Amino acid sequence: MSTVDVLDSRTSPSTLCCIVVRWNVFWCIAAMWCKKLMERGGYYRDCCTCLLPPVQKAFIRQRGSLILKRREFSIGACATILSLPSIALANKYPDRPIKLIVPFAAGSSPDTNMRFFAHEFGKVLGQPLVVENRPGANGITGTIGALGSPKDGYSIMYVNANTLAINPYLFPKQKYQPLRDMTLLGMTSLGANILVTRPTLEVKNVAELIALAKAKPGVLSMGSSGTGTTGHLSGELFKEMAKIDVVHVPYKGSAAAYTDLTAGRVDFMFDNLVSLGTQEKDGRVKVLAVTTAERNGILPHVPTLKESGLKEYEVLSWGGIAAPKGIPEPIVTALREALDKVKQSPTYVDYFKKIGGFMLPSMTEAQLVSFVQAEEKKWSAIIKKSGAANT
């Protein structure tokens, strides 16, 4: 019952007196509390500078009256209760290092990219980002560990097509659902996969590779960095669109796959452009195509798969950062604003251009969710048709 509700002819004098005295004491204590906090300085002073006016205005304007108006009480109470944590968090975060969990092995392309990102992100935030690798189960192990971290903004995670759009369908019994359990903060990388062959395979382009595979069904071998990786599923999409039958040979990482490819033990593979290094220049592999809709700046001589006859083929290699669902909104805002600043820095832009990355789009949370949902739709269909799901 509010103070105004009881001020009618049925209210006894004793009840009225009790209500007035209680609210008077409450607001006197609130005002004293605010002044004490102001003396402490820092963000406490900022909080109370905002809070004292609504506290003072909560009393009715008539001199000597101690009855509170409903509307003014609501303003004062809401300001007191709600403003303090928001102002404090905005002023204080971050006040210690932040852990960045990368659910892939040290030395992998996600790890390499995120270590550079962590350095730049830390400079913007004013606190270091400490990269912690937790590989295993195609990114599931580290992701589950990150989701179990305290929801305070001091543990964030790297996410990509595997952890957000592929694993829920490749491992349907996994213990997390990305869009339910995560807050997506933004994209950190966007690039291409490539189609490469062993140097001795007698094909010069995609059309000749498809023709050879059709002439020898079930004979050619297709390597990958592991079952369910974007390299593997890029190959499955290629098989479906080209209508060819080849044997998939999964490896434990790109390095092992490239070792056998250059030695001639597998015929071709799809992998992330970042992993290519100097192997084309050294003559150890042949690059037949890129998987994106447009040619890549560091391989301008290499056509896209669309140009090579597969008109609907497009695969992006992408990554981003996320946090466990439930961290305070002021911290989410601070992280997103810092990420936007990093992506606009000349150092960051130059780094990704050198490794064949694209300019990163600025996305709202709704746009990020829509992007992930579109990726889920694409990869879930490929996983179902290829029979790759681990049931």
> What tens digit of pLDDT does each residue of 311-368 get?
999 999 999 999 999 999 999 999 999 999 999 999 999 998 898 998 777 888 899 9
Is the per-residue pLDDT at 190 higher than 50?
yes
Gap between the terminal Cα atoms of the chain? 57
Q: Mean pLDDT score of the chain, rounded to an integer?
A: 83
The identity of residue 231, as a single letter, is: G
Distances from the Cα of 198 to the Cα of 68, 220, 222, 257, 390, angstroms: 82, 11, 11, 11, 30
Instruction: Return the pLDDT at 274.
Output: 85
Checking if the pLDDT of 197 tops 90, the result is yes
- pLDDT on residue 64: 42
Structure tokens at 265: 């033990």
Q: How far apart are CA 225 and CA 271, in angstroms?
A: 7
- Whether the model clears a pTM of 0.85, i.e. scores above it, the answer is no
- Give, in degrees to the nearest 5, the angle at Cα 378 between 266 and 108: 50
pLDDT value at residue 300 = 95
> What backbone torsions phi and psi does residue 185 show, to the nearest 5 degrees?
-95, -35
Question: Would you say residue 19 has pLDDT above 60?
Answer: no
Q: How far apart are CA 176 and CA 381, in angstroms?
A: 20
pLDDT in tens, 106-150: 888 899 899 999 999 999 999 999 999 999 888 999 999 999 999
Whose tokens are 């509390």? That residue is 33
Question: Residue 166's CB: how many other CB atoms inside 10 A?
Answer: 26
